[in-house]
Structure 1
Amino acid sequence: YTVVLRVIPRGKELVDQPQIDAWVEGYGQFLAAQSRGGEVVAVTAVLDNVVETRLKQGREVTRLVRPQAPEFARAVMAEAAADTGGVGVRIEARIALTYRAIGKGRVRRDEAEQAREIGQRLQGALSQLARAGLPATPLQAWEVLALVRTRYDLASQRDVEAAGAQLVETQSWDSVGPISHLDRWDHYVHDGARSVTWEMDAAPRGAVMETVLEELLRPRADVPRKRVAIVYRLHSAAEATNLVDSDFRDAVAAEQTERGIASASARIRVGNTQASREEQARGAGLTRFGVLVTVTDHLDGDLPGIEASVKAMSAASRLSVRRCYGFQASAFAASLGIGLVLPEHSSISKKVSG
């Protein structure tokens, strides 16, 4: 069961570094809190760059302007909502919380019971996100339908945004996917668009600051439809304790079995695993994470140019990525942030793949 939250990042302009550090710490506490009960399968954070239609601004201005307002004020608001021309790019951020079925027996199969159980836990997650500088609100059903429809069918974006909440009258979950699609070896063709997805091959090396992915996340006019999804797969508190203890024992055993003077790398490994044990004992969580980068363009788009841009942005973020060969369609769906967690659908046993 997945809840998709709309997030409005506050940005870092005119924000002091201590406040940014507090937000980063708050986000870490949010992830650690989700892992304690073992009920959250994954947390998927998505930053989506889409072409700006300016329809949302127009709707918001219409809602705000009162008929009795001064003419000059109404003229200024109308001009602010007017289409100024050119291709604009807007950023949409969301976080998807994917839960395992909660409870036992018939309760696990009762959708109403699951909604009630998740709803009780959701308020705590929203409060933790707010402390991390990420005020969030759950998406309504029609907004999730609109999200999926516009990502598969680029031509429908303006019509879907114009329809708004009335979308549920004409669309359902079965109809928002592509009319036709083709899963190629190195790209994915869906309706009138072509998408390419890359996955993280190696995490950034060295010290990781809060700005490490800035170049990859920044909107660019030459890549107007770009989506970066960070998938956190959380270990429960019990699993985390066993894992960090096991890693520490392995590191100590490896250091003691070396002949002569222990190598510097062995001593560093012991120190790192000991630090992990201490942090986990203080309440930190243990998380596996990965990154998916999806770029979508029209069928006649410049794919070689897009690939060069993605490689350059990833290198600037010190993130090693590789193309998702052979599973472009599933990687595209996983990067949407709607609850598809690829390792949970693997046909290989976890004992073998782990």
Structure 2
Amino acid sequence: MSDPTLYGGWRRTHTLGIGTLNTSQTFILVGAVLVNLVGIVIAGLPALPLTLPISLTVIVLAVWQRHGMPLLSYATGMLRWRLAAARGETSYRGHFLPVPEALDLPGLAAPTKLIRAQAGSRTVGLVWNQRSGHMTGTLLLQPAGALLAAGSVVDTAVSSWGQTLAQMADEDPIAAASVTLQITPSSGHAVTQHVTERRDPNAPQLARATTDELVARAPRASAQLAAWFSLVIDPNRAGEPTKNPAEAAGAALGVLDGIDLGASGADVLRAATDSDIKRIVRGGYVPSDMDAPAQQIEDLLWHEVGPTYAEDGKDIYEHDGYYSISYVLRAAPRKDVAYDVLLRLLSAGRFSRRVTLAYRVLPTEEGRALIERELNASDAREEYRQRTRRSTTRRERVDAARANRTADEEAVGHAMTQWSVYVTTTVKSVEDIPAARREVEKAAKLAGGMRFRPAYGAQSAAMALGLPLGINPLL
């Protein structure tokens, strides 16, 4: 048996800076040092006791890390969230908002509107972002299991997905894409009911006995899996600038129809209709309505698919009696991983979970320019190390090697992709929040070395990322 194919080579974007510092941290460090020198020149040494504590504080905030980010960035984000909370901007009350805000979804979803587009005999739902002009179309997927598949089949599926992403680099209208899998725990009663309704009373005794045994041995706890692929499209980059939403929708449908996921290990059920999108968004905010009758979902207006009330806390998002906790990717795996690296994160647990992989394939020219900046930054850091006679660490050597490999791959026509992962878990009771946190964090630790952190001060935004609303932080 041959060894499984491993995948890797991911790296953070680096900019010019001193040592491991980025450009902004370097400017802050140099500026803090210059403040002391300027103070001494103007007022002499007596100014040093006044300027030195301030500059040291700024340097510490800029250099030290917390939750994978500079302490200054973390403190600034928390200050902005506290100011927003003090102004009441983290609270949403749909029934008490003035018109036209009363017809908006909360947070980042406020500028969106749902459009029902007719493509021949098909009805397709598109989410129009009135602020950016983007149109988002969604394909409903039926993931195919790969755990029992041959290695060659898996390699073909992964390679095909990579080719699909690479093709997006040549499609100017495509701004971003995302794949979301929603895992909802359910009881084994669904299996029993499914078999009972389809059982033939005239079947042979052996067949009936075998079926009964399989049902009896089936896990009492199972899960419902829903998956969708969302494509964010900028219609104005499709050719002639669009004049109205109808033309923009037509351009978006043309791009959406050109996406082929057939060989990527997932079957495309169909393009999502407006009712499908309503159901997914409504189920995100009110999970009990995910299985609501079709007519009930059809009758909902766009602003009604959101919550009636919501509170965006520092690390918890409360919406219509439910509590959601969202996590964002802090660091990608350092080592090469197998194709099933996300298996534990996508496995059923006690609580509902939604995992979103967001992508932005850089256009060819932008990717080439970014790689040039990366190589220049790597050369500048190497020059700094030589001047300061500091030996390189193994991690720095690996990062430089990956940067050179990325440049080599781009030179032969490979696309460059920015990506991230977002995880949201939702519970009904506040008492379940600690258990839900432990469940996600334990699964994340087993995801090939990926590191996640809570979306501090941005819980409502992180939750909206997993819904087919066209919200993508990589844009």
State the TM-score, normalizing by the size of structure 1: 0.81
- Residue 225 of structure 2 corresponds to residue 121 of structure 1: no
Distance in structure 2 (CA, Å) of the matches to 1:341 and 1:108:
22
Deviation at 1:274, TM superposition (A): 2.4
Q: Secondary structure at the match of 2:421?
A: strand
Q: Which residue in 1 is equivalent to 2:263?
A: 131
Q: Structure 1 residue aligned with 2:338, among 209, 212, 229?
A: 209
Structure 2 counterpart SS, 1:233: strand
Q: Does 1:315 align with 2:442?
A: no
Q: Distance in 1 between matches of 2:290 and 2:252?
A: 31
The CA deviation at 1:86 is: 5.5
Tell which deviates more after alignment, 19-28 or 46-55: 46-55
Q: Match of 1:89, SS? A: strand
Give the Cα separation in 2 of the matches to 1:3 and 1:58. Answer: 36
* Residues 1:271 and 1:321: Cα distance change in structure 2 (over 3 Å): closer
Deviation at 1:329, TM superposition (A): 1.2
Q: Which has the higher contact order (CA 8 A, sep 6+)?
A: 1
1:22 aligned residue: 156
Instruction: Give secondary structure in 2 for the equivalent of 1:186.
Output: coil
Deviations 1:233-259 (A, max 9, x none): 221111001111222233344435625
Question: Whole-Å Cα distance in 2 between the matches of residues 331 and 262 of structure 1?
Answer: 40
Amino acid at match of 2:144: R
The 1:308/1:239 distance shift into structure 2, 3 A limit, reads same
C-alpha spacing 1:292/1:70, structure 2 compared with 1 (3 Å): closer
Residue 453 of structure 2 corresponds to residue 326 of structure 1: no
Query: Which ranges of structure 1 fall in alignment gaps of 5 or more residues?
Result: 345-354
Q: 2:366 aligns with which of 230, 239, 259?
A: 239
List per-residue Cα deviations over 1:116-161 (Å, max 9, x = no partner): 22222223312xx112122222111101101111221133234x1x
Structure 2 gaps, min length 5? 1-134
The yes-or-no answer on 1:275 pairing with 2:405 is yes
The offset of 1:14, in angstroms, is: 2.9
Inter-partner Cα distance in structure 2 for 1:231 and 1:30: 14
- State the shift of 1:196 in Å: 0.7
Letter in 1 for 2:170: R
Contact 2:172–2:238 (CA under 8 A) maintained in structure 1 = no
Contact 1:142–1:167 at 8 Å: present in 2 too?
A: no
1:92 and 2:188 correspond = no
Per-residue CA deviations over 1:253-294 (Å, capped at 9, x if unaligned) read 443562579747565444322221221233322122111111
SS at match of 1:8: strand
What's the CA shift for 1:88?
A: 3.6
Distance apart, 1:104 and its partner CA:
8.3
* Corresponding letter in the other structure for 2:264: A
Q: Which amino acid aligns with 1:131?
A: A
Higher Cα Rg, which structure: 2
SS for the counterpart of 1:174 is helix
Write the distance in 2 (CA, Å) between the matches of 1:209 and 1:202: 17
Q: Which residue of 2 aligns with 1:351?
A: none
* 1:8 Cα deviation from its structure 2 partner: 1.4
Residue equivalent to 1:227: 354
The Cα shift of 1:328 comes to 1.1
Structure 2 residue corresponding to 1:153, chosen from 286, 292, 305 = 286
The RMSD of aligned alpha carbons is: 3.4
Matched-pair contact (CA < 8 Å) for 1:154–1:192 = no
Quote the Cα distance in structure 2 between the aligned partners of 1:175 and 1:56.
Answer: 29
After TM superposition, give the deviation of residue 296 of structure 1 in Å.
Answer: 0.3
* Cα distance change on mapping 1:60 and 1:119 into 2, 3 Å: farther
Q: Is the 8 A contact 1:195 1:296 kept in 2?
A: yes
1:339 aligns with 2:470: yes
* Contact 1:186–1:328 (Cα < 8 Å) also in 2: yes
Say whether the 8 Å CA contact 1:38–1:235 is kept in structure 2.
no
Aligned partners of 2:239, 2:163: CA distance in 1, in Å?
32
Distance in 1 (CA, whole Å) between partners of 2:190 and 2:169 is 36
Asked if 2 retains the 8 angstrom alpha-carbon contact of 1:229 and 1:337, the reply is no
Q: Work out the percentage of aligned pairs sharing the same amino acid.
A: 24
- By how many angstroms is 1:311 displaced? 1.2
Tell me which of 42, 46, 50 is aligned to 2:184. 50
SS across alignment from 1:197: strand
Which stretches of structure 1, 4 residues or longer, exceed 6 Å deviation after superposition?
53-61
- 1:34 corresponds to 2:168: yes
Task: Report how far residue 71 of structure 1 moved.
Answer: 6.2
Higher alpha-carbon deviation: 48-57 or 282-291: 48-57
Shift of 1:193: 0.8
